[in-house]
């Protein structure tokens, strides 16, 4: 199928032990996925779920331990160079040379791809415009803000006009405004036909950007689908969040679990989550039971709730 | 990950990065790699050395300056080889620095190694050439063989740079590098025949010193400069240093792949 851009079957990544007594560490434990041209695909999961290891294998900077992987129809084990020439990578830590200027960073990176200085100059002008950094071209990178650096990293990753862009935690560490600017840029790229593959542990980011996603936990894929499908399958339309005074939560939980049938109720250290179709009705029912929460919040359920339902844990621990 | 046919010029792409990066950082190393050895040459060789008579048998009938200068050249070249490898390699291999960036592009780890090794070699040659210029200006070279002292010194530096490169790419942080300079570079510097003839040492120590790579570099440079080189001696020293460079390079190839494409 020509519209498949990457495919993995039984993909495993095991790292050798740090010392002789330790056991080898399996970061990715037999996963299957298929990525299609032009889509935005997300790997979602907590730290240590195996997302970044999967991304490194896709980026052809880490050979799979077992399973098969094809990227752009090629085998990373033998065609790493050719694959890497056609993809773009946005690492989480930016990986810019902070002592060089914005433009020099693009120049260096373009040279790695064998581009001539003329081509790099020409593309750099367009990319800096895209990244809203045109007026910063001559500045040293260490003078840029976190959001600017991330946009420069994305601009740099586009210097070879990649068919697929891999983004590892693209908005981690950015303030909300910078994050929205970035989402907008990524959305434009997608409109231009670039396949986006990203990892995140933010549910709102996955909902904003991803057409399809897989939820990873402990090196395995525990669920997959569109954000809406996952919410429909593993959560409810609304969630009622109830916070109680110190020491009152356990008693309230007992009372609710005896009285409520059908709906799922999760306990977090600081609050109860009541998964229900109608949050307001649930709150009214709670008051009828004589419960007096300190605060009560009705919200739409999100991928965060999906993850909690699937693993019993919150996403950002 | 390997690819059968490596396109040409891959290593040069990283080599060019090294120069661009160096243009912003040259002030940090120019003093220790070029100025320091020259100050030593002048202060110890031409200064303190005048207190040593030229009739001292252990010096082989030459002035202390003529004895010391080629030894200092070898020692300085060793230090340059290590400075050019240990610090930059352990720095660039960290997450977010130049190595991981480069190996996410069409460059393979071996291209990065080759490009950086070429840069190290050029820097070692430049350092040695600066020293040779001053050394020759002092008129210590008494033999046409002295023309070979520049490649000899460069080989000495490179022989140290390669194993240190292989080691530095495995380091999680820069601290062990400081330990290397304290416990390996300093003793070699002082006891490998740079400042005094190793025949002054107890016999057991002489045998030990003759096993160290710097001693071979010092002997090679000194005998070429003073015209006392023998075919057997020079070939032995050259073979020793070349083997060290080659073994280090092969180990570095393996370590670069393991650590940059884990």
**Contacts A69 to B, Cβ<8 Å:** none
Q: ipTM for the complex?
A: 0.86
Tens digits of residue pLDDT in B168-191:
999 988 889 989 988 888 888 888
Facing A61 at nearest CB: one of B2, B25, B104: B104
Containing H/E element for A5? strand A4-15
Note the pLDDT of residue B61: 77
Identify whether B26 is part of a domain.
no
* Rounded Cα–Cα distance for residues B78 and A47 (Å): 44
Show the domain range for B216.
Answer: 32-260
Identify whether B71 is part of a domain.
yes
Confidence of residue B3 (pLDDT cuts 50, 70, 90): very low
DSSP secondary structure letters along A129-161: HHTT-GGGTTSBGGGS-HHHHHHHHHHHHTTT-
Identify whether B23 is part of a domain.
no
Note the pLDDT of residue B4: 45
Identify whether B8 is part of a domain.
no
Q: Going edge to edge, which strands form the sheet with A4-15?
A: A25-36, A4-15, A66-71
Residues of chain A with confidence (pLDDT) below 70? 1-2, 315-317
| Closest C-alpha to A211, from A29, A34, A89 | A34
Identify whether B17 is part of a domain.
no
Answer yes or no: are the C-beta atoms of A136 and A148 closer than 8 Å: yes
Question: Among A117-131, A256-270, B8-22, B58-72, where is mean pLDDT lowest?
Answer: B58-72
Containing H/E element for A67? strand A66-71
The count of domains in chain B is: 1
* Rounded Cα–Cα distance for residues B199 and B197 (Å): 5
Among chain A, residues having any CB pair with chain B shorter than 8 Å are 15, 59-63, 76-82, 84-85, 89, 91, 93-95, 97, 99-100, 104, 107-109, 111-114, 160
Mark yes or no for CB contact A114/B13 under 8 Å: yes
Name the pTM for this structure. 0.88
Answer yes or no: are the C-beta atoms of B127 and B29 closer than 8 Å: no
Note the pLDDT of residue B206: 84
> How far does A213 lie from chain B, in Å, by closest CA?
24
Mark yes or no for CB contact A62/B261 under 8 Å: yes
**Contacts A84 to B, Cβ<8 Å:** 104-106
The DSSP output letter for A233 is H
Mark yes or no for CB contact B3/A62 under 8 Å: no
The 3-state DSSP class for residue A281 equals helix
The DSSP output letter for A261 is -
What's the whole-number mean pLDDT along residues B67-86? 93
* Rounded Cα–Cα distance for residues B22 and B126 (Å): 14
Note the pLDDT of residue A159: 95
Mean pLDDT, rounded, of chain B? 88
Identify whether B110 is part of a domain.
yes
Mark yes or no for CB contact B25/A80 under 8 Å: no
Facing B108 at nearest CB: one of A59, A80, A114: A80
**Residue B74 above 90 pLDDT?**
yes
Mark yes or no for CB contact B105/A61 under 8 Å: no
Facing A78 at nearest CB: one of B3, B9, B108: B3
Domains of chain A: 4-225 (3.40.50.300), 236-301 (3.30.70)
B141: tokens are: 């070279």
Q: At what angle do helices B213-226 and B231-260 cross, to 10 degrees?
A: 140
Q: What are phi and psi of A160, to 5 degrees?
A: -95, 15
**Residue B60 above 90 pLDDT?**
no
Tens digits of residue pLDDT in B47-56:
787 777 766 7
Note the pLDDT of residue A2: 60
| Closest C-alpha to A186, from A97, A90, A293 | A90
* Rounded Cα–Cα distance for residues A140 and A102 (Å): 6
The 3-state DSSP class for residue A235 equals coil
> How far does A174 lie from chain B, in Å, by closest CA?
17
**Contacts A91 to B, Cβ<8 Å:** 96, 100-101, 104
Facing A97 at nearest CB: one of B9, B21, B95: B21
Above pLDDT 70, what percent of chain B?
A: 96
Instruction: Kindly report the three-state secondary structure assignment for every residue of chain B.
Output: CCCCCCCCCHHHHHHHHHHHHHHCCHHHHHHHHHHHHHHHHHHHHHHHHHHCCCCCHHHCCCCHHHHHHHHHHHHHHHHHHHHHHHHHHHHHCCCCCHHHHHCCCCCCHHHHHHHHHHHHHHHHHHHHHHHHHHHHHCCCCCCHHHHHHHHHHHHHHHHHHHHHHHHHCCCCCCHHHHHHHHHHHHHHHHHCCCCCCHHHCCHHHHHHHCCCHHHHHHHHHHHHHHCCCCHHHHHHHHHHHHHHHHHHHHHHHHHHHHHHCC
What's the whole-number mean pLDDT along residues B213-238? 91
Above pLDDT 90, what percent of chain B?
A: 53
The 3-state DSSP class for residue A291 equals coil
* Rounded Cα–Cα distance for residues B140 and B135 (Å): 7
Mean pLDDT, rounded, of chain A? 91
The 3-state DSSP class for residue A79 equals helix
Tens digits of residue pLDDT in A22-42:
888 999 999 999 999 999 999
* Rounded Cα–Cα distance for residues B130 and B154 (Å): 12
HSE of B58, CA atoms in CB hemisphere, 13 A: 13
Identify whether B18 is part of a domain.
no
Identify whether B16 is part of a domain.
no
């Amino acid at each position: 199928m020509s519209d498949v851009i990457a495919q993995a079957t039984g993909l495993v990544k095991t790292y050798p032990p740090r010392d002789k007594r330790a056991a080898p560490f399996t970061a990715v434990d037999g996963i299957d996925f298929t990525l299609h041209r032009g889509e935005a695909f997300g790997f979602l999961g907590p730290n240590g779920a195996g997302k970044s290891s999967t991304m490194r294998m896709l980026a052809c900077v880490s050979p799979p331990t077992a399973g098969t992987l094809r990227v752009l129809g090629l085998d990373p084990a033998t065609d790493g160079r050719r694959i890497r020439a056609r993809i773009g990578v946005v690492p989480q830590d930016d990986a810019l040379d902070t002592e060089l200027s914005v433009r020099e960073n693009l120049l260096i990176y373009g040279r790695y791809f064998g581009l001539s200085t003329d081509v790099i100059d020409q593309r750099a002008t367009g990319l800096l415009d895209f990244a809203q950094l045109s007026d910063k071209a001559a500045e040293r990178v260490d003078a840029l803000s976190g959001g600017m650096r991330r946009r420069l990293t994305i601009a740099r990753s586009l210097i070879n006009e990649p068919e697929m862009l891999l983004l590892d935690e693209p908005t981690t560490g950015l303030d909300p405004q910078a994050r929205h600017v970035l989402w907008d840029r990524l959305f434009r790229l997608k409109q231009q036909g670039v396949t986006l593959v990203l990892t995140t542990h933010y549910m709102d980011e996955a909902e904003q950007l991803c057409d399809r996603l897989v939820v990873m936990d402990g090196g395995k894929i525990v669920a997959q689908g569109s954000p809406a499908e996952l919410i429909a399958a593993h959560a409810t339309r609304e969630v009622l969040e109830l916070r109680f005074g110190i020491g009152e939560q356990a008693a309230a939980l007992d009372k609710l679990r005896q009285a409520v049938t059908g709906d799922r109720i999760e306990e977090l250290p600081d609050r109860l989550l009541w998964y229900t179709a109608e949050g307001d009705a649930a709150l009214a029912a709670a008051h009828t039971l004589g419960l007096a929460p300190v605060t009560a919040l009705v919200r739409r359920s999100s991928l965060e709730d999906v993850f909690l339902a699937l693993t019993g844990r919150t996403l950002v621990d | 990950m390997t690819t059968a046919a490596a396109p040409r010029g891959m290593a040069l792409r990283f080599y060019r990065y090294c120069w661009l990066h160096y243009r912003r950082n040259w002030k940090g190393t120019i003093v220790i790699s070029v100025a320091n050895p020259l100050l030593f040459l002048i202060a110890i060789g031409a200064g303190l050395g005048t207190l040593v008579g030229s009739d001292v048998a252990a010096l082989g009938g030459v002035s202390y300056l003529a004895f010391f200068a080629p030894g200092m050249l070898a020692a300085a070249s060793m230090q340059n080889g290590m400075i050019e490898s240990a610090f930059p390699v352990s720095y660039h291999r960290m997450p977010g620095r130049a190595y991981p960036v480069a190996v996410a592009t069409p460059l393979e780890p071996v291209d990065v190694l080759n490009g950086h090794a070429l840069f190290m070699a050029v820097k070692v040659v430049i350092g040695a050439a600066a020293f040779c210029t001053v050394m020759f200006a002092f008129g210590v070279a008494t033999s046409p063989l002295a023309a070979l002292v520049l490649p000899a010194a460069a080989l000495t530096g490179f022989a140290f740079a390669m194993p240190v490169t292989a080691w530095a790419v495995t380091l999680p942080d820069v601290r062990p590098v400081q330990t290397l300079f304290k416990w390996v570079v300093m003793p070699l510097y002082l006891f490998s025949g740079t400042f005094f003839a190793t025949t002054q040492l107890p016999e057991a120590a002489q045998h030990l010193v003759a096993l160290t790579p710097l001693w071979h570099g010092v002997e090679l440079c000194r005998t070429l400069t003073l015209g006392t080189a023998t075919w057997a001696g020079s070939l032995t020293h050259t073979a020793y240093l070349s083997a060290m460079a080659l073994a280090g390079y092969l180990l570095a190839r393996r370590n670069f792949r393991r650590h940059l494409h884990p």
